[in-house]
Structure 1
Amino acid sequence: MSDNLRDSRLHRRAARLARSQWGTALAATWGFAEAVSWPVLPEVALAGLCVADPKSGPRLSVAAAAGSVAGGLTSYALAERGVVPPCPLTTRRMHDTVATQTRDEGARAVRHQPLAGIPYKVYAVRAGQERVGAMSFAQASARARGTRIVTAGLALTAFGVAARSQRHRYGPYLLTTGTGFAAALTLIVRGWR
């Protein structure tokens, strides 16, 4: 069976998007939006795009990470001026934990974010409110947040290479990934109540 017959139409469209400038813009914008208010991680977009076109994975991963750090700096700047964007799917306990970490560690508090399950935007807002230093926060964010997004994107890229013969199952893969993300998000929010 030829590759085109085994490839799903959805996969082909996603791969075209991943290869285009629009795919890069989508990854960067998603990262930015999630760092300001959007409740869905940029890794969700990468899960679709990097698997669809693994050759684009490194570029998309870097774009998502850069967009995220830029969004974090935007949240920081807004909070520094007293404007707090909506932070959906966050809890009072998350905010209190980040307040304590930021008070104790300054900009370095964001290093807890990748494993804590607390959205990055909460760290960005608190850092701005505490005025920990935009440059310090950007550097700490690039190390913690940027590294995590790029690592996840590269892992998804590797998965896309390994699953190349399963392109005809791309639709079920997206459904499973979306369901898994929704379940994980629900557990995280419940765990922080």
Structure 2
Amino acid sequence: MLGAIARSTAALAASAVWGYAEATRFYIVPDVLIGWVALHGARPGVWTALAATTGAVLGGAAVHRDAAAQQARLTEIPGISEAMLDDAAERFAQQGWVAVMRAPLDGIPYKVYAAQSALDGRPLEELLIWTAPARLWRFLLVALGAAAFGTIFARAIRRREGHFLFGYAAVWAITYLRYYAGLRARYGAITSSGTGRD
């Protein structure tokens, strides 16, 4: 049942919507859905990664077009603080688009750079060109890693899919707990109501 849902066009559409939402205001990464879909097959996993990337490109464009207003509201999003915004601005000034490419490694949400690029006078076309590889490399990494795991444990997943879903959710919960602990260590207490890894 869950496997059929993961391989459906609804999951593909949900991934695109999730990619857009997370590139603008949402604070949970689409990797959560991408990984679950990929557990049931590499091909649907890759397609959901591509769909999420498409959504992220559109979301980044929306943020870029309204950068000043979006920047002012970023600290309303869980996990994003003024200290993070200052850090991202400095990284972008020094590294340019390389900072966006390595944003997942630095724990800085893509939406922060989408706004910062506009405030720094970078044209929308540049953001669109760089968004696809900047988002896709991690999405594909998650998809291919989950697909490999799903291939190895395919029989067990089919027999105990509910248990695997629970375990999968637990892994992501632990991932976010560690992420926010890292943010507190780097930037101090998170005063916004938010929680976001990108």
TM-score between both structures, scaled by the size of structure 1: 0.82
Q: Which amino acid aligns with 1:28?
A: A
Other-structure match for 1:82: 69
Relative to 1, partners in 2 of residues 1:54 and 1:169: Cα closer, same or farther, differing over 3 Å? farther
In 2, Cα distance between the equivalents of 1:175 and 1:128? Answer: 40
Asked if residue 43 in structure 1 is aligned to residue 31 in structure 2, the reply is yes
CA drift of 1:185 comes to 1.7
Relative to 1, partners in 2 of residues 1:18 and 1:180: Cα closer, same or farther, differing over 3 Å? closer
**Corresponding residue to 1:70 among 27, 47, 58:** 58
Higher-helix-fraction structure: 1
Give deviations 1:21-41, integer Å, cap 9, x for gaps.
Answer: 211101111111111111111
Other-structure match for 2:164: 173
Q: How many residues end up aligned between the 2 structures?
A: 180
CA drift of 1:139 comes to 1.8
Other-structure match for 1:95: 85
CA drift of 1:82 comes to 3.0
Relative to 1, partners in 2 of residues 1:101 and 1:191: Cα closer, same or farther, differing over 3 Å? same
Relative to 1, partners in 2 of residues 1:38 and 1:61: Cα closer, same or farther, differing over 3 Å? same
Q: Which amino acid aligns with 1:91?
A: S
- For the residue of structure 1 that corresponds to 2:69, the secondary structure is coil
Other-structure match for 2:13: 25
Other-structure match for 1:191: 182
> Gaps spanning 5+ residues in structure 2: where?
189-198
Larger deviation, residues 41-50 vs 106-115: 106-115
Give deviations 1:131-190, integer Å, cap 9, x for gaps.
Answer: 312111222222222121122112212222222111222222222222222222222223
Give deviations 1:96-144, integer Å, cap 9, x for gaps.
Answer: 1111112223344212202111111111121222231211122222222
In 2, Cα distance between the equivalents of 1:78 and 1:168? Answer: 48
Other-structure match for 2:130: 140
Other-structure match for 1:34: 22
> Gaps spanning 5+ residues in structure 1: where?
1-11
For the aligned residue pairs, the C-alpha RMSD in angstroms reads: 2.0
TM-score between both structures, scaled by the size of structure 2: 0.80
In 2, Cα distance between the equivalents of 1:55 and 1:112? Answer: 25
Q: Which amino acid aligns with 2:135?
A: R
In 2, Cα distance between the equivalents of 1:107 and 1:82? Answer: 22
Contact residue 37 and residue 88 of structure 1 kept, 8 A: no
In 1, Cα distance between the equivalents of 2:132 and 2:171? Answer: 26
